[in-house]
Amino acid sequence: MLSIDAWLDEKPYKEVYDGVIHEKVSPQLPHFAVAGAMIVLLQRWAGRRGLVGPELRVYLAPGITLVPDVAFMSHERFGAIPGDERAKPPIAPEIVVEIRSPDDRERNIRRKTELYLAHGAVLVVNVDPASRSVRLSDARAERVLAADEAIAHAAYPDLHIAVAEIFAPLADL
């Protein structure tokens, strides 16, 4: 028997926020390449401290469910979720990566960033393969990284992911 919300995970995947059902944009090759790079780079940093992966549906509040393209959730955070809620985490991962697709709307990207941060994300990384830009957002500020900079954050002193590494897979496309 399907659960009441099983339709959310039928392709195309759906996200729900602000009382609207939003279909996830079908990813194209640059999205795929950057997502793969981010998983590898985040996993290299995360090591044994947590889980890194694609498309973890999170249930942030009634009527708000999002699916980050890539996410990191520490074992500590995951362990604090009651066992019966772990399959449908009720909290944002600490690090969320959203990868822009050509049809994504800026207002939706910004709204999802706000929602992730309001529901516990420490860092939201918005990556745009077309412009090869990376925007970091946390509870205090937002900034766009230059091509020679790296993802870093005070909450994770050893986090260092070079912008060039994120886009390296695009060199052959």
10-residue mean pLDDT profile of the chain (173 residues): values are 60 88 85 96 96 94 95 94 89 96 90 97 97 97 96 96 97 84
Tell me what pLDDT residue 99 has. 96
Q: Tokens in use for 149?
A: 């900079």
Tell me what pLDDT residue 2 has. 40
Q: DSSP string covering 134-146, please? A: EEEE-SS-EEEEP
Q: Which domains does the chain have, with CATH numbers?
A: 28-172 (3.90.1570.10)
Tell me what pLDDT residue 25 has. 76
Tell me what pLDDT residue 96 has. 98
pTM: 0.93
Tell me what pLDDT residue 76 has. 94
Locate the DSSP E strands across the chain. 14-17, 20-23, 50-54, 58-61, 64-66, 70-74, 95-99, 123-128, 133-137, 142-145, 150-153, 156-162
Specify whether the CB–CB gap between 99 and 38 falls below 8 A.
yes
